[in-house]
Amino acid sequence: MTEKMSAEMAERYKDGFIDHLSQTIGGRKEMVVTGAKGCRLDTTEGSYLDMISGIAVSNVGHSHPEVIAAVAAQMEQYAHVNVYGRFVLPPQVEIAERLTRVAPGDLDVAFLTSTGTEANEGALKLARKYTGRPGYVAFEGSFHGRTYGSLSVSWRERYRAPFQPLLEKVTFVPFDDIDAAAAAIDDTVGGVIIEPVQGEAGVRIPSDDFLPALREICSERGALLIADEVQGAMGRSGHWYSCQEWDVTPDIITVAKALGGGLPLGAFISTSEIFSTFLDPPLSHLTTFGGNPVACAAAIAAFDIIERDGLVERAREMGDYLGAGLARLMETHEMLTGARGLGLWWAFDVAPDDLAMPVVKAMERRGVIVGSMLNADGTVRVAPPLIVTTEELDETLRVLDEALTEVEAG
């Protein structure tokens, strides 16, 4: 239920936000969130269609009643107990069984974290420890997170430069360029980290032979292939994991975001053989809150909803519908220069680049939330909950049409 909030209270929170929360982007916020349900987000300024799902988190929609019930039941039972391996926590086992059941190949073990960047940190450490090699290959356009290891393999110079020195032995190669990747993967490289579909670069989809060829090169040269599926997993791409679009089995898959059904949960998934390297020395990788039982309970509920309600397949159907609508708008709006997507993971390009934010704002004024991307300036993301209806997509397309007309008119 959406709470009502007085204008006075809303102003108090807007002031408090500026006064007491660390800012990473300038400017006062205009909206205070009062509730979220399904595909809708309610604020003090009005109700919106949420077409970004908290950035690819709310795949089952906001505040799903079954997720709420699972969280409440787990809180009643226990929220947190000792870590470091002395107890079995059934919710951890349940979610790990599910994640590995739908994973490709022989990936049968999951290490649970709280966030995506932690999952990638773990994967980078695992690759180094298992291969004994210090080097990494990453891709231009990539985004893997903000902690030191993940930042080291994230491409945009603007975000890396202030924090140098980072991990030293990282080579960035152009995305979808197999010759460049082959040239960079030598016997000093232990991990090749890639988003099979690059999210923050604007939902960039490689050509069909790229990922299978990369898999082959990694196997030949003894480097582990790490697929960062933090944004693309849990049905977003029309698969449980986006690498399944190309039938590729990485050595390590990382997930987070939608996994926790709205609560913080991540994982890196690999084989028991690769993970066995973490046994020596014992306790060589740990976290207090990774795999928190309440987050796991939410994740189990979200996973079961996705599976039971066929949301992976639905993402493909609704994605086709959205893509067809975007293609129609491209015929009538010159400034809409491109649109790409896989499943319900879409982005469109506007030209010139600096008109992307005005389009986002014009849509917001009409009640639809879409968003910008970290590594693609003229590109706008559309990644609704997987429960979105054709009526909600029609509304989004109608609003985009109007927003483009407004921005075109200057």
Ligand X SMILES: Cc1ncc(COP(=O)(O)O)c(C=O)c1O
Q: What spatial distance separates the first Cα and last Cα of the chain, rounded to whole Å?
A: 39
- By three-state DSSP, how is residue 45 classified? coil
Binding window for ligand X (CB under 6 A); candidates: 164-172, 208-216, 224-232, 322-330: 224-232
| 345 lines the binding site for ligand X (CB under 6 A) | no
Q: Which residues does 397 contact at the CB level (< 8 Å), separation at least 6? A: 322, 325, 326, 328, 329
How many whole angstroms separate alpha carbon 216 and alpha carbon 220?
A: 6
Shortest distance in whole angstroms from residue 228 CB to ligand X: 5
Residue of 53, 185, 200 lying closest to 117 (CA atoms): 200
Nearer to ligand X, 55 or 329 (CB): 55
What is the rounded (10 degree) CA torsion for 54, 60, 61, 65?
-130
Pair 211, 196: CB distance under 8 Å: yes
For 387, residues 6+ apart whose C-beta sits below 8 A from its C-beta are 38, 39, 60, 61, 309, 311, 314
Q: What is the CA radius of gyration of the chain?
A: 21
Alpha-carbon distance 329 to 334, whole Å?
A: 9
Residue 47 backbone dihedrals phi, psi, to 5 degrees:
-105, 140
Considering only the stretches 141-149, 269-277, 304-312, 348-356, report the one whose residues sit in contact with ligand X under the rule CB under 6 A. Answer: 141-149
Shortest gap between Cβ of 138 and ligand X (angstroms)?
12
- Binding residue for ligand X, selected from 228, 251, 364, 392, defined by CB under 6 A: 228
Binding residues for ligand X, total number by CB under 6 A: 15
User: What's the CA gap between 5 and 66, in Å, rounded?
Assistant: 27
CB of 115 to ligand X, least distance (A): 4
CA distance 261 to 70: 11
Which residues in the 118-137 window bind ligand X by CB under 6 A? Answer: 120
| For ligand X, the closer CB: 373 or 407 | 373
Q: Which of 91, 145, 291, 325 is in the footprint of ligand X by CB under 6 A?
A: 145
* The one segment of 41-49, 93-101, 173-181, 225-233 that binds ligand X by CB under 6 A: 225-233
SS3 of 259, please?
A: helix
Contact call for residue 116 and ligand X (CB under 6 A): yes
> What is the per-residue DSSP string for 80-101?
----SSSS--HHHHHHHHHHHH
Give least dist CB 75 to ligand X, A. 23
Site for ligand X in 229-258 (CB under 6 A): 230-231, 256
Which listed range, 66-74, 157-165, 195-203, 363-371, lies at the site for ligand X (CB under 6 A)? 195-203
Minimum gap (Å) between residue 143 Cβ and ligand X: 5
Tokens of 257: 């975001």
Q: Is 115 in the site for ligand X (CB under 6 A)?
A: yes
Which of 44, 42, 59 has its CA nearest to residue 236? 59
Phi, psi angles (nearest 5°) of residue 8: -65, -45
Task: Please identify which residue in 43, 44, 58, 117 interacts with ligand X, judged by CB under 6 A.
Answer: 117
Position of minimal CB gap to ligand X: 116
Mask of contacts with ligand X, 40-79, x by CB under 6 A? ---------------x------------------------
CB of 118 to ligand X, least distance (A): 7
Q: Are 172 and 208 in contact (CB under 8 A)?
A: no
Is the Cβ–Cβ distance between 232 and 406 less than 8 Å?
no
For ligand X, which is the closer residue by CB, 25 or 279?
Answer: 25
Site for ligand X in 275-314 (CB under 6 A): none
Closest CB 183 distance from ligand X, rounded Å: 24
Task: For the CB of residue 57, give the shortest distance to ligand X in the complex, in Å.
Answer: 9
Q: How far is the CB of 124 from ligand X (least distance, A)?
A: 12
Q: Which residue among 38, 91, 122, 199 contacts ligand X (CB under 6 A)?
A: 199
* Phi and psi torsions of 225, nearest 5°: -90, 120
Q: Which stretch binds ligand X (CB under 6 A): 112-120, 269-277, 347-355, 363-371?
A: 112-120
Looking at the Cβ atoms of 119 and 400, the one nearer to ligand X is: 119
CB of 133 to ligand X, least distance (A): 22
Q: How far apart are CA 116 and CA 253, in angstroms?
A: 11
The encoded tokens of residue 133 equal 């090699």
Question: Which residues sit at the interface with ligand X, rule CB under 6 A?
Answer: 55, 115-117, 120, 143-145, 195, 199-200, 228, 230-231, 256
